[in-house]
Structure 1
């Protein structure tokens, strides 16, 4: 259901510009060499701007350039990265001055650079040159209408969220399912039902509704309402994207994997939708887990990739590597997996004077740590790289010899890295010996487990 813009670029190095609404763009390009991408503040080629050249210099290397000036900020050898006979998929991301480009299905960029004077990016431009013409498929939002009949239109979800605008008098219906069909198990979110007076969350088309809240006048036939639906570990959250207010919330104690969404209107209502469901890494392109030792060389840092320590290497001394925005450094220690099957990685992050171990969920673009009874999202964090991946079952205050330190509490007590099985997940968190438990963050809460596994060198 994603709207894919088909674009043709000639051999003239003239950018064609398109607006972007978040910190990434995903595309496929078919070209023999020199696929050029520009990131700008406006729909024209003017400073400030970033340029990412993929497959330049006869399809041998890729670079990042700022303001069309040389020398290039960073370059990476990428022989044969483009192909004139087939489409190759890529992503570009920008976050707090970190500009990165990577291949579809890979979490680690092949070229990355940190700008200490970043600017807001609102447009992306594409072009080809130096003897190359190109065909592009650029993923964007989908805009379409629904008729006055209770029949869902389905599309694949991005991991963990659905962002859309809806214009209609009432009865905005969204379902979340495990396939492109109206079949159980499924969640239904009805916004502005009952003549635009009430909104509900329903499970498997059954009553009573799991959640029912009064929302008089929430929808409008003359203007778009901006909505965000998020799901994680069984927790459904419906938000107003303008002010961030929570419209509805419910936690399913037995969640199922969500792979598709459906939209419809009915009961006398027609709807106009704009759906933006690409949100970084999609479910079909989950980032790779930590590579085995034989592949470690393939995952060396690309030039310019931000880090605070060298790659430790599997089985070597562990190090903590600075990262942000869902980045997974090469050699990251995988500590478990989410209920969706997505790998979770061992991290730590500072909070309220403490350094706390937790979990990284790459598709969410952040890490999470437990503290004060709640789960706290951290866009900046440190990832454990290299070293062991040995997990020893323990309980209570029994900290075994060789337990890997993960940080310290606000009172200076050492904290260790633990993990537990919880509601279909294997989730990493912090072990605090004086409390005799492993704390994990899950579905917005800090949860204590007296029986857990601890990471040991």
Structure 2
């Protein structure tokens, strides 16, 4: 955008032009953790995974002994599944992740604790825990437990399954609750907010 102004010096007039920089304002979709119970799901809850039986799984979390633990909500079971120090917990009181604009986020593939800017935090202190899931279309049957033991999940039970977990940047991996274990993936998908850029009008004079 070009602006013009006439300057007058004694009996002379000068026509000056200048190029204005484009200003913009970047906004991101609103995210919220909504407290729910009894299997209810709030509006705009994020369906991020698929159970072995084809049921959609939703992102959830709950506080245990001062720690916020991420897991997945199974609507048919009316509970949240998490692992806390190796113990699989089911609970009917939890928080569900919601995003105002369901087109305002995307999933990106990362590994070894890496996450992009504007990845969604999983805890309240923003200290390096992010919402993640296993890579779309990947073979999830091979994983490692927290103490380094390799495990094999039966292929017949996990076909087309996508599991939700949390990425721990300092541990350089993603943890997923499964059965009585908390299993580890080095590669994962992380949920990222898309930005929307709006131009702002500005007057020079």
- Give structure 1 stretches of 5+ with no counterpart: 1-314
2:92 corresponds to 1:379: yes
Q: 1:370: Cα distance to partner?
A: 2.6
Root mean square deviation, CA, Å = 1.9
Q: What residue in structure 2 maps to residue 394 of structure 1?
A: 110
Q: 1:408: Cα distance to partner?
A: 5.6
Determine helix, strand or coil for the equivalent of 2:29: coil
Distance 1:335 1:389 in 2: 12
Determine helix, strand or coil for the equivalent of 2:122: strand
Q: What residue in structure 2 maps to residue 369 of structure 1?
A: 82
Determine helix, strand or coil for the equivalent of 1:375: strand
Q: TM-score, normalised by structure 1?
A: 0.29
Distance 2:124 2:110 in 1: 20
Q: What residue in structure 2 maps to residue 5 of structure 1?
A: none
Q: What residue in structure 1 maps to residue 20 of structure 2?
A: none
Distance 1:375 1:452 in 2: 21
Give 1:420's match in structure 2, choosing from 122, 134, 152. 134
User: In 2, are the aligned partners of 1:391 and 1:456 still within 8 Å (CA)?
Assistant: yes
User: In 2, are the aligned partners of 1:349 and 1:356 still within 8 Å (CA)?
Assistant: yes
Q: Which has the higher contact order (CA 8 A, sep 6+)?
A: 2
Distance 1:389 1:373 in 2: 31
Q: What residue in structure 1 maps to residue 177 of structure 2?
A: 441
Q: What residue in structure 1 maps to residue 152 of structure 2?
A: none
Distance 1:381 1:433 in 2: 24
Determine helix, strand or coil for the equivalent of 1:426: coil
Query: What is the 5 A alignment of 1:18-97?
Result: none
Deviations 1:393-430 (A, max 9, x none): 00002121111111168xx8331100015333111111
Structure 1 residues 408 and 386: alpha-carbon distance in aligned structure 2, compared to 1, 3 A threshold = closer
Q: 1:389: Cα distance to partner?
A: 3.7
Q: What residue in structure 2 maps to residue 349 of structure 1?
A: 62
Q: How many residues align?
A: 141
Q: What residue in structure 1 maps to residue 123 of structure 2?
A: 407
Determine helix, strand or coil for the equivalent of 2:134: strand
Structure 1 residues 389 and 368: alpha-carbon distance in aligned structure 2, compared to 1, 3 A threshold = farther
Q: TM-score, normalised by structure 2?
A: 0.64
Deviations 1:314-348 (A, max 9, x none): x8301111111211112111111101010101111
Q: What residue in structure 1 maps to residue 53 of structure 2?
A: 340
| Deviating 4+ runs (over 4 angstroms) | none
Give 1:430's match in structure 2, choosing from 153, 160, 166. 166
2:192 corresponds to 1:456: yes
Determine helix, strand or coil for the equivalent of 2:96: strand
Q: 1:390: Cα distance to partner?
A: 1.1
User: In 2, are the aligned partners of 1:356 and 1:415 still within 8 Å (CA)?
Assistant: no
Distance 1:456 1:450 in 2: 18
- Give structure 2 stretches of 5+ with no counterpart: 1-27, 141-157, 194-205
Distance 2:164 2:131 in 1: 7
Query: What is the 5 A alignment of 1:110-121?
Result: none
Determine helix, strand or coil for the equivalent of 2:41: coil
Distance 1:382 1:343 in 2: 17
